[in-house]
Amino acid sequence: MSSQVPLVSYLTLGDPPRLIARECRQCGARFFDRRNACASCGGQAGFDDAVLPGEGALRTFTIVSVAAPGVPVPYVAGVIDLGGTSVRANLVNVKPDPDALALGMRVRLRTFSMGTDGDGVEAIGFGFEPAATTDQGVA
């Protein structure tokens, strides 16, 4: 039996895939991890799920040229603004060259296979690609 699992808990697979943040009921701050209290306002009123848009803007980036053994370089790491929520992720399907990237460029969520285990379970990761790219879904 073949199945897919998201690499991180805040990625939901589907058509389309989405990122889901936890939003503070008191101040609206968003986080991707479990919290007992808000790191922004200190509130303990709890959190609700907030589905983030699948498209956003590249706010900053760096081209990584040195990484851990086995990690292919160069690659682009960036911070993407998804409707006011910052997401750190790699950029995919883009040349790791400053001339191919621009602050403010539109990018969209892209899922891809991270590998399959012996039981046929496929881990799905995410990144962002230029919004002008025409293909969608799992690469």
Q: Which domain holds residue 123?
A: 3-130
| In-domain check, residue 135 | no
Q: Is residue 97 part of a domain?
A: yes
Enter the pTM of the model: 0.88
Phi and psi at residue 58, to the nearest 5°? -75, 120
CA nearest neighbour of 9 among 109, 126, 92: 126
Structural domain contains residue 139: no
pLDDT at 132: 76
Q: Return per-residue pLDDT of the chain as tens, 139 residues.
A: 469 999 999 999 999 999 999 999 999 999 999 899 999 999 999 999 999 999 999 999 999 999 999 999 999 999 999 999 999 999 999 999 999 999 999 999 999 999 999 999 999 999 999 997 544 444 4
What span, in angstroms and rounded, lies between the C-alpha atoms of 91 and 79?
A: 9
Q: What CATH number corresponds to the domain at position 31?
A: 2.40.50
35 within a domain of the structure (yes/no): yes
- Asked whether residue 18 is assigned to any structural domain, the reply reads yes
User: Cβ(22)–Cβ(31) under 8 Å?
Assistant: yes
Total domains, the chain? 1
- pLDDT attached to residue 2: 62
SS3 62: strand
Q: Tell me, yes or no, whether 138 lies in a domain.
A: no
Q: Give the pLDDT of residue 133.
A: 55
